[in-house]
Amino acid sequence: MLNLDSTPTNMTTHPTQDRRILFLFPLALGSFFLLGTVRVLLDNLKNNQFQFLWQSSFSRDNNKFLRVPINVTLDEVIEESCNVFEGQWVWDNVTYPLYKEDTCPYLVKQVTCQRNGRPDSLYQNWRWQPHGCNLPRFNALKMLEMLRDKRLMFIGDSIQRGMFESMVCLVQSVIADGDHSTIRVPPRKIFRIEEFNASIEYYWAPFMVESISDHATNHTVLKRLVKLDSVEKHRKLWEGVDILVFESYVWWMHKPFINATNWEWRGGIDGNCFNETQPIRGPYWGTGSNLEIMSILKDVINKLQINVRLLNITQLSEYRKDGHTSVFGERRGKLLTRQQRSVPKAYADCIHWCLPGVPDTWNELLYGILLQDYRNH
Ligand SMILES: *[C@@H]1O[C@H](CO)[C@@H](O)[C@H](O)[C@H]1NC(C)=O
Ligand SMILES: *[C@@H]1O[C@H](CO)[C@@H](O)[C@H](O)[C@H]1NC(C)=O
Ligand SMILES: *[C@@H]1O[C@H](CO)[C@@H](O)[C@H](O)[C@H]1NC(C)=O
Ligand SMILES: *[C@@H]1O[C@H](CO)[C@@H](O)[C@H](O)[C@H]1NC(C)=O
Ligand SMILES: *[C@@H]1O[C@H](CO)[C@@H](O)[C@H](O)[C@H]1NC(C)=O
Ligand SMILES: *[C@@H]1O[C@H](CO)[C@@H](O)[C@H](O)[C@H]1NC(C)=O
Ligand SMILES: *[C@@H]1O[C@H](CO)[C@@H](O)[C@H](O)[C@H]1NC(C)=O
């Protein structure tokens, strides 16, 4: 057991000297990755012998799904040589946002910045444009077809909950009312889509490994203890899941050895994200995103025997200082008061993201990579 609030240990000062930690730390990064069972999904698709996915559409008469075959067109497939994580944000108020904040009932109030009073909405109109290729347009029906008879689970902290909610919002517009349900079994949330026998799930496990902070509501912020070599407790709940998407980082913050927040932005009030309405253009990498830890992650993933893909969304997210909830979010489960909002230096939240917003792009990338893998297998 390791007390994160004690004085620094070898863990933080000499990460390469402790093999156990070497293995686990990479799991604790601010990037998302798919683990393991993706291959199972892809193999299943392949074994169906179809060269296309099935598109489902409503028959208006009886409200039942019909299966209509469609193609995965070539322009929807990301070229193997293209690094989709290198690119720029381009203004696109024609196609973005991909859904509207007030038409998606699944957003928690932490992310509904407009409803919470944010005066500007330009942050919803940016599209990620990779340098070498285009991302396929998110197609909710194709996403659901890839999830038919499958479970997709997002595991991580509250930032990961944003990605989960984004995915639910991205697909929910094409699902008939009454054909889906949300089940809350803390620390899990399950969005089920009956017609597709599919579920999109969120599992709150902020450290991924076992910790004393795993209870959804009763968790201490101070005196956190983590069991670095144990995922046993959580693993039980993700066993059998077809696609796993992991994320963790900010709970590991242990200043000044593991920084997780960037307060060095220029232009904002007090150097934070408050009142920022434009993405950063040009090179920017905050010291909160530790490249050394990231390179360990890369090494470990390369050594794994299972099919894991890294969604290296760190750089593209770093540019989006305008996309955070700032003072239009929550603190300890409550929206900020007017008084708190007037003290952005103390209260601006530069960790969580407004939705619609940046996490939608993470899901577009996930979608693109799933389509790519499907096509390749
Ligand atoms: C695939 O697309 C081609 C060209 O658009 C079309 O002729 C063909 O019928 C499509 N196949 C399926 C299975 O939809
Ligand atoms: C979209 O952006 C352009 C360029 O900034 C602007 O001229 C136009 O009015 C905007 N359209 C909408 C619907 O906001
Ligand atoms: C629904 O999906 C599960 C896997 O998530 C599968 O075990 C089950 O057989 C499916 N049910 C039907 C009716 O196809
Ligand atoms: C909350 O968690 C602490 C530490 O794990 C434990 O001692 C305490 O009994 C818990 N309280 C409740 C109400 O569950
Ligand atoms: C964390 O940030 C502090 C400044 O707040 C800096 O001195 C320190 O070097 C940073 N640590 C890392 C690992 O980047
Ligand atoms: C926010 O920024 C704008 C200019 O970009 C400025 O006019 C305004 O006073 C700022 N608001 C606050 C509360 O600082
Ligand atoms: C992720 O992207 C950043 C910047 O684009 C790069 O520096 C870093 O090496 C990448 N990480 C991995 C693990 O590929």
Query: Is residue 138 in a domain?
Result: yes
> Which position among 18, 121, 158, 377 bears the catalytic label?
158
Query: Is residue 2 in a domain?
Result: no
What integer pLDDT is reported at residue 20 of this predicted model? 28
With a CB cutoff of 8 Å and minimum separation 6, the contacts of 321 are 265, 268, 273, 276, 279, 280, 350
Question: Which residue out of 71, 74, 75 has the highest number of ligand 1 atoms within 8 Å of its CB and is therefore the one to mutate?
Answer: 71
Question: Is 275 near ligand 6, meaning CB less than 6 Å away?
Answer: yes
Question: Is 315 near ligand 7, meaning CB less than 6 Å away?
Answer: yes
Q: DSSP assignment, residue 138?
A: P
Helix, strand and coil in the chain, % to nearest 5? 30, 20, 45
Give the ligand with the smallest distance to the CA of 222. 4
Q: Alpha-carbon distance 333 to 321, whole Å? A: 23
Residue 370 Cα to ligand 5 midpoint, Å, equals 36
> What residues flank ligand 4, with Cβ below 6 Å?
212, 218
A 10 A CB-CB count for 286 gives 18
Residue 158 C-alpha from the chain's centroid: 9
Query: Is residue 12 in a domain?
Result: no
Q: Alpha-carbon distance 367 to 354, whole Å? A: 20
Minimal-distance CA residue to ligand 4 atom 13: 218
3-state secondary structure of 366: helix
Query: Is residue 252 in a domain?
Result: yes
Query: Is residue 339 in a domain?
Result: yes
Question: Is 310 near ligand 7, meaning CB less than 6 Å away?
Answer: yes
What integer pLDDT is reported at residue 290 of this predicted model? 87
Burial of 370 (0-12, 13-18, 19+ CB in 10 A): buried
For residue 272, the enclosing domain spans 21-376
With a CB cutoff of 8 Å and minimum separation 6, the contacts of 305 are none
Q: Which residues of 110-148 are buried (b: 16+ CB within 10 A; e: fewer)?
A: bbbbbebebeeeebbbbbbebeebbbbebbbbbbbbbbb
What integer pLDDT is reported at residue 202 of this predicted model? 97
Query: Is residue 212 in a domain?
Result: yes
A 10 A CB-CB count for 298 gives 14
Minimal-distance CA residue to ligand 5 atom 7: 256
| 200-240 per-position pLDDT tens digit | 999 999 999 999 888 877 777 677 889 999 998 899 999 99
Per-residue pLDDT of the chain (377 residues; tens, 9 = 90+): 223 222 222 222 232 333 222 232 333 333 344 433 333 333 333 333 222 332 223 333 333 444 544 567 888 889 889 999 999 999 999 999 999 999 999 999 999 999 999 999 999 999 999 999 999 999 999 999 889 899 999 999 999 999 999 999 999 988 887 788 899 998 999 999 998 999 999 999 999 999 988 887 777 767 788 999 999 889 999 999 999 999 999 888 888 888 887 867 765 556 789 999 999 998 888 888 888 889 998 999 999 988 899 999 999 999 999 999 999 999 888 999 999 999 998 999 999 999 999 999 999 999 999 988 877 76
> What residues flank ligand 3, with Cβ below 6 Å?
149-151, 197
User: What is the DSSP secondary-structure string of 218-254?
Assistant: ---SSS-EEETT--HHHHHHHTT-SEEEE---GGG-B
3-state secondary structure of 340: helix
Residue 372 C-alpha from the chain's centroid: 19
What integer pLDDT is reported at residue 166 of this predicted model? 98
Minimal-distance CA residue to ligand 4 atom 5: 212
With a CB cutoff of 8 Å and minimum separation 6, the contacts of 287 are 259, 262, 264
Are 324 and 318 within 8 A, CB to CB? no
Minimal-distance CA residue to ligand 6 atom 10: 275
Give the ligand with the smallest distance to the CA of 29. 7
With a CB cutoff of 8 Å and minimum separation 6, the contacts of 375 are 72, 77
What integer pLDDT is reported at residue 261 of this predicted model? 75
The alpha-carbon radius of gyration of the chain (Å, integer) is: 21
What integer pLDDT is reported at residue 118 of this predicted model? 97
Residue 365 Cα to ligand 5 midpoint, Å, equals 30
Residue of 101, 116, 108 whose CA lies nearest to 333: 108
Query: Is residue 5 in a domain?
Result: no
Active site residue 352: yes
Minimal-distance CA residue to ligand 7 atom 13: 298
Q: What is the pTM of this model?
A: 0.84
> Which position among 157, 322, 349, 360 bears the catalytic label?
349
Are 113 and 325 within 8 A, CB to CB? yes
Q: DSSP assignment, residue 281?
A: -
Residue 92 Cα to ligand 2 midpoint, Å, equals 9
Element (H, E) at 29: none
For the chain, the first-to-last Cα distance in angstroms comes to 42
- The number of folded domains in the chain is 1
Query: Is residue 340 in a domain?
Result: yes
Active site residue 158: yes
